[in-house]
Amino acid sequence: VLTWRIGEDTDELVIEHDGYRRAAFDLVHRRTVRFDKRTRELLVHDQIIGSDKPQMDAAFMCAPAVNCQQIAPGQLVLGHSAITATLEITWAGMPGCRVEWDEAEVAPGYGTLTGSHCLRIRQNGNDLIVRLRLREATRNDPLHIDRT
């Protein structure tokens, strides 16, 4: 942990690790996580330090039954039938950014695996910023489920 600040409007955590050195890569992964309490927006800024052109791969494991839909270039909505909110995900980076919705498994309990999905945002470069914003679902959302 490099810094951990808790403020009235914003919380910020900056962490890093050098675990890639065990795989013979002289890289450091630094992640800054900033939560804006006013806008309910979470910013995740990943940096790879020590290489000119690594590939960035941000992975977000999702609970079973979470659905994903791209609503605009560089913007996704994640939703779940049991909640009345959606998660908007926006990423910024260099051209060539790829988004993948991969099959994955999660462990809801010890020794139990359940099918799920993993959202992966991949790009070439050493800088990737992902914004996550939780908001109430509306009837216009592509993943909206009418409960009336």
Q: What is the DSSP string of 29-68?
A: EEEEEEEETTTTEEEEEEEEES-SSPEEEEEEEE-TTEEE
Residue type, 115: G
- Residue 1, pLDDT > 90, answer yes
User: Quick one: pLDDT band at residue 4, thresholds 50, 70, 90?
Assistant: very high
33 φψ region: left (φ > 0), alpha (ψ -120 to 50), beta (else):
beta
Q: At 47, list the tokens.
A: 């940096």
pLDDT tens by residue, 9-30: 999 999 999 887 777 777 888 9
- Residue 5, pLDDT > 70, answer yes
pLDDT tens by residue, 32-81: 999 999 888 888 888 888 766 667 777 888 888 888 877 777 777 777 76
Q: At 34, list the tokens.
A: 């900033």
